[in-house]
Amino acid sequence: MRYKISILILLFILTEVSAQYYTRDAGIIAGEGICLSYRQFFKEEMALEGFAGISKNGFRLTALREYFSPMVVSRSDNLKFMYGFGIHAGVNYTNKYKLFNGTFYHDWMWTPQFGFDGAVGLEYSASEFPILVSAALRPYFEFSLNRYFLLKPLNLVFAIKYRF
């Protein structure tokens, strides 16, 4: 009898351990450049993510508010549809500036940039391990001193993150 009770208690504990709800994750995002990211969940379906990254001749900080909804609930709730919006700011080191179809060259200089971001993608989290992978389309609109504005509608990024 004692043996059966200890097995039941052990099974109850093991099912509780595998059903944890993680509230944060951190990882690496690859796209136009390489970014380090940190995300904090406020609800199971809403999070705030910030990332800092370097790209060709520049540095950028971004903050996104993201929303999640399960894709195939009948099979698994590990695959989620993600969408969101946010802002970014950074600097770029360049020697040219673009105005409409013309490109004008000048001395190399640091130029500030800021803009608005969007995000839509898929995210899969493994149920046995605290690892998740995602692919997203993150378009952005950017203002800058060297090219007044830039619209980048096809900015594809891939991420691998650790949940804790």
Instruction: Give the domain CATH number at 117.
Output: 2.40.160.20
Whether residue 2 lies inside any domain: the answer is no
| pLDDT at residue 5, rounded to an integer | 66
Structural contact between residues 137 and 154, judged by C-beta atoms closer than 8 angstroms: yes
Whether residue 54 lies inside any domain: the answer is yes
When pLDDT is cut at 50, 70 and 90, the band that residue 124 belongs to is very high
| pLDDT at residue 153, rounded to an integer | 93
Whether residue 10 lies inside any domain: the answer is no
Say if residue 2's pLDDT is above 80: no
Say if residue 94's pLDDT is above 90: no
Structural domain boundaries enclosing 26: 21-163
Whether residue 3 lies inside any domain: the answer is no
Quick one: 105 exposed, middle or buried, by C-beta within 10 A (0-12, 13-18, 19+)? exposed
Q: How many domains does the chain have?
A: 1
